[in-house]
Amino acid sequence: FIQLNRGANSARGDDMASMKLAVASWLNKSSPPPNPPIHSHNKTGCGFYNNATAKLLCPVDFNWADPNYELNFQVTAHLWPSFLYRDGEYDWEDPTKGLFKGFFLIRMKLPIELLPKQSRTQGKHCTQSDVATFCGSWQNLNDDFEHDQFYVYIVNYFENPPTPTAKASVDALLIWWNRKVFGPCSMSTYSPQVAAHYSVANTSAKCH
C-alpha cells in the first residue's frame, strides 16, 4: 500500500510539473504579457505577487481589476477562484453561469495525457472527480486554503444538485466536459441516446 501511494504521488508530481510548464508558457504568451515574466520552475513572484496569476486566483467575490483594490481578505476553499469561470466573469444573478468553463481550466485539461491511458483508449467518460482534479493540486493545506475541502465542494456540486433544474445543468456540464476531452469519440458512453425517442423507433411504430 505504501509503495502504491508513493507511485501515485510520483505520477501526480510529474503531471503537476508538466502543467506548471504549460501554464507558464500560456501566461507568458498572453497579451499583455506578465511583468515580470512567469518562471516555469520558480514560483517566486507568482501567485498574488504577479497581476497575471493574481487575477486568475482572485476569488470571484472580489474585484481584482479595481485600481483601488487591496489584498485584505483570506483566500480559502469557501471562495471560487476566477479561473474556474468562463472569461473569469462571475454573474451575481446567475452564479453557476460559466462555472467550470474557464479558459485556463480547459487548457490544463487539453493534454489528454493527464487522464489515465485506459480513459483515452477504452472510452471511459469524464467524471465529477476528473473535473475536480483538473481544478487544482491536492496537498491538504496551503496557507488558509484547504485543497481537500475545495475538492469536496467541487464533487458535491456535481453529485448533490439541489433541484431538478440544477441536476439538468450539471448533466449538461458533464457532457460539455466529455466533448472537450474526448470529442465525438465514445459519445454513447457519456451521452447515450434513448432509442425510443428517435426516427427508427418512430417509423417502426408506424409500421405496426
Separation of alpha carbons 104 and 164, rounded Å: 29
Distance, CA of 68 to chain centre = 30
**Distances 135 to 60, 102, 131 between C-alpha atoms, Å:** 15, 10, 7
Q: What is the pLDDT along the chain (208 residues), one digit of tens a residue?
A: 344 444 444 444 455 667 777 788 888 888 888 888 888 777 777 888 888 888 888 999 988 887 776 667 788 899 999 999 999 999 999 999 999 999 888 777 655 444 444 444 444 566 666 666 656 554 554 567 888 888 889 989 999 999 999 999 998 998 888 888 777 666 666 666 676 777 777 776 565 5
pTM, entire model: 0.72
Residue 202 amino acid letter: N
